[in-house]
Amino acid sequence: KAIAKSSLQHMVAQPNPALALRSDSERQIRSTVDWSETAVYGEHIWFETNVSGDFCYVGEQNCMAKLLQKPLSRRKCAACKIVVHTPCIEQLEKINFRCKPSFRESGSRNVREPIVVRHHWVHRRRQEGKCRQCGKGFQQKFAFHSKEIVAISCSWCKQAYHSKVSCFMLQHIEEPCSLGAHAAVVVPPTWILRVRRPQNPLKSSKKKKRTSFKRKSSKKGAEEGRWKPFVIKPMPAPLMKPLLVFVNPKSGGNQGAKIIQSFMWYLNPRQVFDLSQGGPKEALELYRKVHNLRILACGGDGTVGWILSILDQLRLNPPPPVAILPLGTGNDLARTLNWGGGYTDEPLSKILSHVEDGNIVQLDRWNLRVEPNTDANPEEKDEAATDKLPLDVFNNYFSLGFDARVTLEFHESREANPEKFNSRFRNKMFYAGTAFSDFLTGSSKDLAKHVKLVCDGTDLTSKIQDLKPQCLVFLNIPRYCAGTMPWGNPGEHHDFEPQRHDDGCIEVIGFTMTSLAALQVGGHGERLCQCRQVVLTTSKAIPMQVDGEPCKLAASCIHISLRNQANMVQKTKRRNSMPLLNDQQPVPERLRIRVSRISMRDYEALHYDKEKLKEASVPLGIIVVPGDSDLELCRTQIERLQEDFPPQPSALERLLFQEGDGAKPKTLSSQKLSPKWCFLDSTTADRFYRIDRAQEHLNYVTEISQDELYVLDPELVITQTVSTSPAMPDLVDSSAAPTGHHFAFPSSSSSPPSSPAASAEPECCLPHKDDLLIEAAKSGNFSKFQELHRAGKDLMVRDSSGQTVLHHAVKSGSKDIVKYIIENAPSEILDAAEEENGETSLHQAAALRQRTICHYIVEAGASLMKTDLQGDTPKHRAEKANDPDLAAYLENRQHYQMIQREDQETAV
């Protein structure tokens, strides 16, 4: 065993000569890939992390936190997932541990030596899955602080073995690595070469004399200079589909930054690019000779358009197809190509599989050529108008009139006062207010008087004047305005051809204010024509927008014509599991599946534990569908199941909904699903994840469920009994039937009729003298506390320092008293702060690492954003108390609380 460990350390920890070339002052903690000539072979890519439970990877002997006896900030390597304290990063050199190498040096000592990728073995104290050798699972301990190394896994292929000589044998150390399940899309490090150019002093002096001549290099030469040390030399591999990932970190809140780290783990970090670090052009130039190249654009439709425009400039032949991971807001192009309306929590591993398996389709792209209208009335000239459009090509749509005016006013206001537009809720309210104002003033109602439209040589101006639209849309794809279908559903337009994104035709649609309002509820506009060329003439300045980029264009003549067709990757239904189920049994002719619902509260809290999430589900009923059904058909059956409520379970249903192992049977839900429910995939190894509604036709029911079909209801109303189990976190018994109160947490309304608190008005939290109730809370005497309250003592009493009975119950650690206070006191007590430090009861519970009590208070509705006088939230107090599990739980609930609050504001 010692020999194996020594060999493993030697294999992953060869001394790095490049490190010796750098002085301590030159070294820096990198969070990006280094493409310079001084790039270090096997350099880690560090990101700050809150994962404070694992031991520092350098070991106790070299760990600075251990030596200093104090907590230090931590960082995690995105590429190999080791965690170290920030000051300990330099200590990694002492144990000679490098990250997985992302490139190789040009020139080999032995030219005939085969170029292969070796495994990058890393010791793990926590590991999911099973040992590749013995097939047994890895020991999982609840406490993160176990010093025992349970597994050895490869950062490339993700193979894992038990950390013992009977499983991890010596021959594994030097064997070639297959690069794992996604080998077809991974760019091997052997393809990326760093070319070192020898420095000759004589040549250097001659170069200095020719400095002025060198400065005349072109912009292209300057761009090549940045990437000069590296070249890509792909090996012949016809079955490979190497992938470049471009991530816009500004899209989707903070999603982009987290996704970059995840892709660096699954792929080679040198095939993952942050678009805020210079754009996609240089990377595409570097990889232009790679055969079968594919691109994954992680961002909104604007990000996709940016990449397509760069591909036009580079004239790659053939142009690589582009897949989409939607992180923006509208994502209409992503919806059209089946990638959904936004990224939720689908595993990135599955997304990589979909990119690899997706079909290549064509997307029409349209030129916009603008000429000034010399016949326009000079009196109509608008000084604020521009003479060109923000883009000269569009992929989704080009529009003018009402929708463009609203978008333009929003953009102008945001540029003038960016600090006022830092919230999605405020942005939506501004859009609504601008739209309403424009509706009242009727500023777009005379659009038809100033527009002349000719499509394929046919003048449609008279038709426009009869319709009197307030908005004209030239649509390339079926989706518009965050998922609506302005051309109508297929089959509704018998006078026209079905709408396609690859037919070389563009759809022209007119909207009145009435049809615009109906668009969000399934309506459509007035279909004017399908054509290949458009000449649009305006006689005054009119607001316009190109794929969401607005401007006010002066009187102009606009020519729309087909530019080219881009290659795109369309997400398809994966048939590799059909016609066999996951257990390799033939698909039956009909499936009888029980359907259960999970609330968003349970989903957010229990995502780490599939079994607990299943226990928290509430049965809805049973559906019978064909064995090869997709989720669209299942949705129809589930909606039918909802037509008859409350349900009357049959004898078979009663039998199917009995829990095993003698547990209490579950009761059928008596509440209908909300309109926003979605399916959950319960078959992945690590956790459940949501299926986007736009992608339901791509998933077979047998792919996401085995014996039970789970759905997520974000608006599920729940009243639940809190478990007294000490295990953490979010321990709930969800077998109780829901009631009619939205997220009805235990409160004073649940007091028994005999309780004085049931009829009393909530009192303000004013300081009072210490009394017997506080003494009972301090001592943890539940029976005495209950007796005093029933005798009329006030639960809102405070002591001289402003601490409530809940503060004292938390300090005494009495779960029964805490539960009793939550159920009987007014909800104001949850966020009441004492005077000395401004701490709520949740702050104190987090500082004392009382996990179950924290769970009670959080689920009762306490604020997780409230700070004490030091500016700490409860999550910060848990981190300072060195309880990473509790901190992670509080952070999870804080995030959900923010989303819930924003949704409530939007509803208002």
Output phi, psi for 588, to 5 deg.
-70, 165
pLDDT at 835: 86
Beta bridge partners of 152: 123, 161
What pLDDT, on the 0 to 100 scale, is given for residue 739? Answer: 30
Query: Distance from CA of residue 797 to its chain's centroid?
Result: 44
pLDDT tens per residue, range 505-556: 999 999 987 787 777 777 888 999 999 999 999 999 999 999 988 999 999 9
Sheet holding 74-77, edge to edge: 46-49, 74-77, 83-85
Give which of 714, 718, 677, 692 is closest to 902, Cα–Cα: 714
User: What number of other Cβ atoms are within 10 A of residue 551's Cβ?
Assistant: 22
Q: Are strands 732-733 and 721-722 parallel, antiparallel or unpaired?
A: antiparallel
Write b or e for each residue in 11-31: b if 16 or more Cβ atoms lie within 10 A of its Cβ, otherwise e: ebbeebeeeeeeeeeeeeeeb
Tokens of 832: 């009441």
Question: How is residue 129 written in tokens?
Answer: 């899955």
pLDDT (tens digit, 9 = 90+) per residue, 611-663?
A: 888 888 988 888 888 888 889 899 998 988 877 655 555 554 454 444 444 44
User: Are the C-beta atoms of residues 569 and 563 closer than 8 Å to each other?
Assistant: no
Is beta strand 590-599 parallel, antiparallel or unpaired with respect to 618-626?
Answer: antiparallel
Strand pairing of 272-274 and 243-247?
parallel
Instruction: DSSP letter for 473, please.
Output: E
Closest residue by Cα to residue 103 from 270, 256, 260, 259: 270
Token pair listed for 657: 């909904």
Identify the DSSP state of 707. Answer: S
| CB contact burial 452-485 (16+ within 10 A = b; e otherwise) | bbebeeeebeebbeebebbbbbbbbbbbbbebbb
pLDDT recorded at residue 668: 65
636-662 exposure pattern, b = at least 16 Cβ within 10 A, e = fewer: ebbeebeeeeebebeeebeebbeeeee
Q: Which stretches of the chain drop beneath a pLDDT of 50? A: 1-26, 109-113, 142-144, 202-225, 423-425, 440, 576-584, 652-653, 655-664, 718-770, 903-908
Q: The domain 227-357 is classified under which CATH number: 2.60.40, 3.30.70, 3.40.50, 3.30.200?
A: 3.40.50
Q: Using CA atoms, how far apart are residues 125 and 151, in angstroms rounded to an integer?
A: 7
Asked whether the bond before 486 is cis by omega within 30 degrees of 0, the reply is: no
Token representation of residue 348? 């990135």
DSSP string, 219-280: HHHHHHHHTTTEEE-PPP-TT---EEEEE-TTTTTTHHHHHHHHHHHHS-GGGEEEGGGT-S
Q: How many CA atoms lie within 13 A of 344 on its CB side?
A: 19
Cβ atoms of 750 and 758 within 8 Å: the answer is no
Positions of CATH 3.40.50 in the chain: 227-357
Residues linked to residue 130 through DSSP beta bridges, in sequence order: 137
What are the phi and psi torsion angles at 69 (to 5°)?
55, 45
Cα(763)–Cα(756) distance, integer angstroms: 13
For CATH 1.25.40.20, the residue range(s) in the chain are 748-907
Cβ pair 342, 301 in contact under 8 A: no
Q: Half-sphere exposure (CA, 13 Å, Cβ side) for 35?
A: 20
Q: What is the rounded distance in angstroms from the CA atom of residue 83 to the CA atom of residue 875? A: 20
- The predicted pLDDT at position 530 comes to 93
Beta strands in 57-197 (DSSP E): 74-77, 83-85, 104-105, 121-124, 151-154, 160-162, 192-194
Q: Quick one: which H or E segment has residue 604? A: helix 600-605
Q: What CATH number belongs to 748-907?
A: 1.25.40.20
pLDDT digits (tens, 9 = 90+) for 282-322: 999 999 999 999 999 999 888 999 999 999 999 998 899 99
CB atoms within 10 A of CB 251: 25
- Which strands make up the sheet holding 151-154, listed edge to edge? 121-124, 151-154, 160-162
The answer to whether 304 and 550 have CB atoms below 8 angstroms apart is: no
User: Are the CB atoms for 830 and 841 separated by under 8 Å?
Assistant: yes
Q: How many CB atoms lie within 10 A of CB 82?
A: 21
In 3D space, the residue among 567, 571, 562 whose CA is nearest the CA of residue 503 turns out to be 562
Distance separating alpha carbons of residues 15 and 20, to the nearest angstrom: 9
Q: What is the DSSP letter of 829?
A: G
Residue bearing tokens 């310079």: 36
Residues 723, 731: Cα–Cα separation, whole Å: 6
Per-residue pLDDT at 214: 43
Inter-residue contact 854 to 846 (CB < 8 Å): yes
Distance CA 51, CA 741 (A): 37
User: Across the chain, what does the average pLDDT equal?
Assistant: 78
**722 forms bridges with which residues in the sheet?**
732
The alpha-carbon radius of gyration of the chain (Å, integer) is: 32
Distance in angstroms (rounded) separating the CA atoms of residues 475 and 772: 73
C-alpha–C-alpha distance, residues 368 and 802, integer Å: 68
| Exposure string over 193-208, b if 16+ CB within 10 A, otherwise e | bbeeeeeeeeeeeeee
Q: What is the CB-side half-sphere exposure of residue 422 using CA atoms within 13 A? A: 4
How far is the C-alpha of 336 from the C-alpha of 396, rounded, in Å? 10
Please return the burial class of 807, using the count of CB atoms within 10 Å of its CB with bins 0-12, 13-18 and 19+.
Answer: buried
Q: Where does CATH 2.60.200 sit in the chain?
A: 366-565
Closest CA to 412 of 397, 387, 400, 430: 430
Task: Write out 806-828 in H/E/C secondary structure.
Answer: HHHHHHHCCHHHHHHHHHHCCHH
Percentage helix, strand, coil for the chain under 3-state DSSP, each rounded to 5: 35, 20, 50
Q: 10 Å Cβ neighbour count for 242?
A: 23
Query: Which three-class secondary structure state does DSSP give residue 551?
Result: strand
Helix (H, G, I), strand (E, B) or coil at 195: coil
Question: CATH for 366-565, among 2.60.200, 1.10.3470, 2.60.40, 3.30.1360?
Answer: 2.60.200
What residues are paired with 295 via a beta bridge?
244, 322
Query: CATH top-level class for 590-647+665-722?
Result: alpha beta
Report the alpha-carbon distance of residue 783 to residue 776 in Å, rounded: 9
Q: Are strands 243-247 and 294-299 parallel, antiparallel or unpaired?
A: parallel
CA atoms of 355 and 284, how far apart (whole Å): 18
pLDDT at 196: 72
